[in-house]
Structure 1
Amino acid sequence: MNSLHTTLTVQTENLVATVTLNRPSVRNAFNEVLISELTSAFSELAQREDVEVIVLAANGKSFCAGADLAWMKAMASYTYEENIADAQLLAKMLNIIYRCAKPVIAKVQGDTYGGGVGLAAVCDIVVASEEAHFCLSEARLGLLPATISPYVIKALGEQACRRFFITSERFSADEACHLGFVHVLSKANQLDADVEKICQSILQNGPAAVVACKKLVQDYASKPIDEFLIEDSVKRIAEIRCSKEAQYRMKSFLEKN
């Protein structure tokens, strides 16, 4: 199933949905329409039974250049209340992608700046071309990457963010890989194949287990290992062991061995 939007496309095939940013003339920069369409696309895909993996990609040379210049010019005259309302829309979109039950893979083919780094950070897996670069450029405009920071700090790490938030230095996909932000560094002509390989690896697993695994990491990350956490982990494994999916898959595995 394919659907066409104003600023992005959504294509679904063999349990994989590909959401492609489609504003190449402005390097796929954010405006209020793109934010709205990403919000609705991911909200819908999270509920689709024919989707088990989502790939977030982009057309053109850049993955996402952050905020659209025309949008920024409009924001320059916003009141404080208007800025709050505007930032809330971006924050909602980022959180919907981050909280999406399905695994989300970012396919980063080109440069990724500002809010685009936040967009990659909310994805579960980042596969990037070795030609891509990243930059948290907000401070150069007298701004700060506040809305994206909870996700970028988690994904890039506190020490790296201490540097790149305040220097606005451009860093390579190779460096992003060494820092753990990028999971797979690909040659440009291998990017599609590397993303497909990860998709197929996910699709071999139990769909309900994949959803539960993603939620497990989000729920437990940075939490203290206390009695509550231990007890909760015991309940989670007991519940999933009793599920139809786990029962079927464990039985099939044991019968083969």
Structure 2
Amino acid sequence: MQYTMLEVAFAERVATVTLNRPDVRNAFNETMIAELTDAFTQLDARDDVRAIVLAANGAAFCAGADLNWMKKMATFSDEENRADARRLANMLAAIYRSSKPVIARVSGDVYAGGVGLVAASDIVVSVDTARFCLSEARLGLIAATIAPYVVRALGERASRRYFTTAEQFDCATAARLGLVHEMVGADALDATVQKLAATLCANGPQAVRASKQLVQDVAGRALDEALIEDTAQRIARIRASAEGREGVTSFLEKRAPSWRD
């Protein structure tokens, strides 16, 4: 997996995808969008990958859209603009829909579309000095393609405020609102991410995949008979699966399950 704007590394069933445009604060353009989409699509299909870390080189995690790319978009036709926006939306969906849990390793400031990358991830670990900003309204734009993920992460009330004011908020606020799960000092960032990745890899890979899908499918649904029946069928299927039987048997036999070999 060779890219011009990303680095991809593998270690102990964990893939790390690193944004590598530190000179422009890892702002994304059409090339980075295409590479992120391809990387997450390929990693999703690999059985040897149990978790994905999304990281960044340089002082900032991601400053959102590259200004030169945005300037070029201003000259696009309506059809070209919609196609370009759809590619960005598809990239975010590839992260969100990945069957592998995604840990965002936030090492610096996160602006605009970068907040979308973080919100589309499953677990977010951030340095306590990071600042966040949904800055689109300052430029006369809206945070449209990232909205499905950011609103889920921040909630409607906070999203109303920060989408419209374009205020900067600190990591403590991001943690309080639910965008960030773990807020740590810079010296503890890697150890915290590694511990979480190891925890994910110790669990049944099919159970992790099914658990992630379960949350996405259940969130926001009415608690009715259809949902009750759906969840009953899901647990019945996984109990009868090879991984489910191995998990219960290994627990009763007081041994490690086979997926930890």
**Shorter-chain TM-score category?**
over 0.9
Q: State the match for 2:108 in structure 1.
A: 110
Which position in structure 2 is the counterpart of 1:25?
A: 23
**Which residue number corresponds to residue 73 of structure 2?**
75
Cα distance in 1 between the residues matched to 2:74 and 2:253: 65
Q: What's the secondary structure of 1:182's corresponding residue?
A: coil
Q: Which residue of 2 aligns with 1:16?
A: 14
Task: Report the counterpart of residue 188 of structure 1 in structure 2.
Answer: 186
CA distance in 2, matches of 1:168, 1:129: 21
Identity %: 58
In 2, Cα distance between equivalents of 1:152 and 1:47: 26
Counterparts of 1:43 and 1:75 in 2: how far apart (Å)?
Answer: 25
Measured in 1, the distance between the counterparts of 2:253 and 2:81 equals: 60
> Which amino acid in 2 is paired with 1:176?
A
Amino acid paired to 2:126? A
Distance across 2 between alignment mates of 1:58 and 1:255: 43
Question: Which of 202, 205, 208 lines up with 1:207 in the alignment?
Answer: 205
- Within 2, Cα distance between the matches of 1:107 and 1:37? 18
1:32, 1:195 → 2: CA distance? Answer: 28
Corresponding letter in the other structure for 1:123: S
Name the structure 2 match of 1:242: 240
SS at match of 2:253: helix
Aligned counterpart for 1:165 among listed residues 163, 170, 174: 163
User: What is the correspondence of 1:112-127 to structure 2 with a 5 Å cutoff?
Assistant: 112-127=110-125
User: Residue by residue, what CA displacement relative to the aligned partner does 1:162-220 show, whole Å, maximum 9, x if unpaired?
Assistant: 10000000001111001111000010110000000101111111011000000000011
RMSD: 1.0
CA distance in 1, matches of 2:189, 2:253: 37
Counterpart residue identity of residue 34, structure 2: S
Q: What's the CA shift for 1:21?
A: 0.2
Q: Report the TM-score when normalising by structure 1.
A: 0.98
Displacement of 1:69: 1.1
> Counterpart amino acid of 2:78?
Y
Structure 1 residue runs of 4+, over 2 Å off?
none
Query: Does 1:57 find its partner at 2:45?
Result: no
* Partner Cα distance (2:138, 2:70) in 1: 14
- State the secondary structure of the residue aligned to 1:144: coil
- Unmatched 5+ stretches in structure 2: 256-261
| DSSP-derived class of the 2:126 partner | strand
Shift of 1:7: 0.3
Give the aligned residue type for 2:52. Answer: I
Q: CA deviation at 1:83?
A: 1.1
TM-score (norm. length: structure 2): 0.96
- Aligned residue-pair number: 255
Matches of 2:186 and 2:203, distance apart in 1: 28
Matched, 1:228 2:226: yes
User: Counterpart of 1:224 in 2: which secondary structure?
Assistant: coil
Q: Is the partner of 2:61 in helix, strand or coil?
A: strand
1:8-31 Cα deviation digits (max 9, x unpaired):
011111100000000000000010
Q: CA–CA distance in 2 between the matches of 1:203 and 1:81? A: 43
1:142-176 deviations in whole A, cap 9, x for unaligned? 00001100110001111110100000000011110
SS in structure 2 opposite 1:126?
Answer: strand
Letter in 2 for 1:190: A
Superimposed CA distance per residue, residues 45-93 of structure 1 (whole angstroms, 9 cap, x where no aligned partner): 0000110000000000000000101101101112221110110000001
Equivalents in 2 of 1:228, 1:254: separation in Å? 33
CA distance in structure 2 between the aligned counterparts of 1:200 and 1:137, rounded to whole angstroms: 35
